[in-house]
Structure formats: C-alpha cells, structure tokens
Amino acid sequence: MNKKDKTRELRQALGSFPTGVTVVTCLDSNNNPLGFTANSFTSVSLEPQLISICIDKDSFNIESFSIVGHFAVSVLSEDQQAISTTFATPNEDRFLDIEWNSKNTGSPIIKGAVAWFDCDTEQVISAGDHLILIGKVIAFDSTPKTPLMYLRGNYVNLGLEQKMRLAMENENTIIVVGALIEWQKKVLLLKDKTSGKLYFPSASRLGHIDDEQSLLGVLNKLSISISEHYLFSVFEKPLDKTSLIYYRAQAKEGSIESQNNFYDFDAIPFDKLNDEASRIMLKRYIKERDLNAFGIFVGKESEGKIEAISTTN
C-alpha cells in the first residue's frame, strides 16, 4: 500500500468518530474577520478553562491565527450546514452573507450557533502538518439547539432523521422508501415493462437483504450491493398523504453484474421518468454531485425546502 492510500484509509478510519462542526474565527491585524470550518475542536481543561483547535499549515489563514493572540469557536446548529460549507470552501469574503457579532476579544461569533467560546491564545503548538491552538476561554455561552454532526464524510441532521424514523414506525402512515444508486457516474433506473417508464427502486420499507419486500431486498434481487446510505429527500404526496423517503448510495465495486439499468448522467432520458418529482430529484442529485455537496429535500411533493445536511467526501 502506497503512502497516498494509507493516508486516505487513515482519514476514513478517523472519520468513524462522530464530531460536532465549528467555525473558528479571529480578527487579523487590520481588523478584518477571518474564519474556517473545523471539526478538530476539543476541551482541554476545566481548570484552567482551556480548549483546542487544529489548523492546517497550508491554510491561507495560518499566519493570522498564529500571531493575533485571540480566536473564537462557534459550534454550528443542524440548520447551519450552509455556513459550514461557506467557511470550508475558497471564498474572498466568507462573511459577506453571515450574521455575526463579537464579544470580549472582538473575534466574530456566528449568530444562531449552539455554543460559542471567546478565547485568548494560550499556546501555539506545531504538530505534523497542523498547528494546535490552545485557547484560554474568557467568555462563552450555549443554547439547547441540536448541533450539526459530522460522521464519515457526511453531515448528519439528528432531528430530521428522528422524525423520519417515527413516521416509518406509524402504522397509519403509507411509506414508500426509494434509493438513488450511483455507480461510476451512472444512476440506476428500472423500467416498467408495461409503460416503459423509468423509476427508482423502491419498497414499503428499508428492511434487510433477506426481506424481498424491502428496498434492500429489492436491490439484493438485482444483485446490487450498496455502501452506506444517506437521506436525500423526504416529502409527502398531498392527495393520499403518502410519505416518500429517498436515500442516496454508491453501488459497491464488483457487485454490478449488468450495466443495462445504469444511465450516464449526461444521457438520462428525463422525459421517460415516471413523474415530475423523480425528474426534479434526479436533476438535483446530479447538480449536488457536481458540487460535491448534498442536502436533503423536506416538504410536499410540489413544494418544500432543501435542508443542507450532508456532504460527501
């Protein structure tokens, strides 16, 4: 195994540890706000009150954070994934559309955060390809909001997933569980033998591969194994109150016996999809795959909003 592969596998292993998501901020020597997204935040000591954060030595923020003598950490809530994305991507002015205020040090505090910590820099420690900033907490606050979680390269919305599971357990709710399965930039679409329309594999429950009436059982019958699956769309048909829950997943390499049901992204016959909701959902999937960032649609069949809760590695 070469060094690059070892690094990738170590990153994947470390990603098995779930963390919160923070935005770390400071004011540079010209009082301009700077910030970056980090999940390397941890408590160091309660007495004295110390926390730590790690910053990549290749970061363009590195010089300012290592010399200004102060910084703040804002713990993001589950509805602030867009803010996380903003501070994790190249942007000339990451604060342009961000609401923030300041406390003791002047470092920006993100409005609506679950918690925040305003710190004087106690130590800057060089460790491999990162610097460790040890901060002495001089002011802080917290709220009962649900934090944004990060696990295995994906943002996780705990509140939304709990609501979804409760709906699936309700015997009076009609449930359709489907999946957008990707393999080598292709998507799985099944064809109705009567109408010729294309549709996503679906069932009345997620289930198990041994349950032929479940989604995983349907995929197993098609000889398709999938990797971890993540929520992609949750919506309701207003006419019959059917709740539709769609996941996204990658087909495992070596599990595809036939490519006949897989369509290249740029060759999908959208006019043959069996409904408008499926067309909208698939177009959104392709767009978000291109951006390398996923959200989740929540609402009615014809209206709703994107809850940006997940992103792929």
CATH number of residue 131's parent domain: 2.30.110.10
Q: What is the pLDDT of residue 65?
A: 85
Residue that finishes a domain, picked among 151, 183, 214: 151
pLDDT digits (tens, 9 = 90+) for 6-44: 777 787 787 667 788 999 999 988 888 999 999 889 999
Residue that finishes a domain, picked among 151, 179, 196: 151
Number of domains within the chain: 2
CA–CA separation, 214 and 289 (whole Å): 26
Q: Of 293, 258, 299, nearest to 280 (Cα)? A: 299
- The neighbour count for residue 241, using CB atoms within 10 Å, is 10
The SS3 assignment for 111 reads coil
The verdict on 301 and 164 lying in the same domain is yes
Between residues 164 and 46, the one the model is more confident about: 46
Q: What is the pLDDT of residue 160?
A: 54
pLDDT at 58 over 90: no
Q: 207: pLDDT confidence band, cut at 50, 70 and 90?
A: confident
The verdict on 28 and 136 lying in the same domain is yes
Residue 217 belongs to a domain with what CATH number?
Answer: 3.90.79.10
Q: What is the pLDDT of residue 306?
A: 42
Q: What is the pLDDT of residue 307?
A: 45
User: Which structural domain, as residue segments, surrounds residue 306?
Assistant: 154-310
Least confident of 129-133, 196-200, 226-230: 226-230
The verdict on 172 and 196 lying in the same domain is yes
Q: What is the pLDDT of residue 175?
A: 81
The verdict on 166 and 146 lying in the same domain is no
Q: 308: pLDDT confidence band, cut at 50, 70 and 90?
A: very low
The verdict on 214 and 227 lying in the same domain is yes
Q: 209: pLDDT confidence band, cut at 50, 70 and 90?
A: confident
Helix (H) or strand (E) holding 82: helix 81-88
CB 72 within 8 A of CB 113: no
The verdict on 188 and 295 lying in the same domain is yes
Q: Of 173, 166, 154, nearest to 232 (Cα)? A: 154
The verdict on 158 and 117 lying in the same domain is no
Q: 310: pLDDT confidence band, cut at 50, 70 and 90?
A: very low
The verdict on 128 and 204 lying in the same domain is no
CB 136 within 8 A of CB 2: no
- Share of residues in the chain with pLDDT > 90 (%): 34
Ranked by mean pLDDT, the top range of 12-16, 141-145, 254-258 is 141-145
Between residues 38 and 237, the one the model is more confident about: 38
Q: Judging by DSSP bridges, how do beta strands 202-203 and 149-151 pair with one another?
A: unpaired
Q: What is the mean pLDDT of residues 178-199?
A: 92
pLDDT digits (tens, 9 = 90+) for 85-137: 888 887 778 888 899 999 999 999 999 999 999 999 999 999 888 899 999 99
Q: What is the pLDDT of residue 86?
A: 87
Q: Of 173, 117, 106, nearest to 141 (Cα)? A: 117
CA–CA separation, 17 and 284 (whole Å): 29
Q: 264: pLDDT confidence band, cut at 50, 70 and 90?
A: very high
Computed over every residue of the chain, the mean pLDDT equals 82
pLDDT digits (tens, 9 = 90+) for 68-77: 899 999 999 9
Residue that finishes a domain, picked among 151, 179, 200: 151
The verdict on 16 and 133 lying in the same domain is yes
Burial of 170 by CB count in 10 Å (0-12 exposed, 13-18 middle, 19+ buried)?
exposed
Between residues 170 and 94, the one the model is more confident about: 94
Q: Judging by DSSP bridges, how do beta strands 130-142 and 49-56 pair with one another?
A: antiparallel
pLDDT at 311 over 50: no
The verdict on 186 and 91 lying in the same domain is no
The verdict on 99 and 161 lying in the same domain is no
The verdict on 143 and 166 lying in the same domain is no
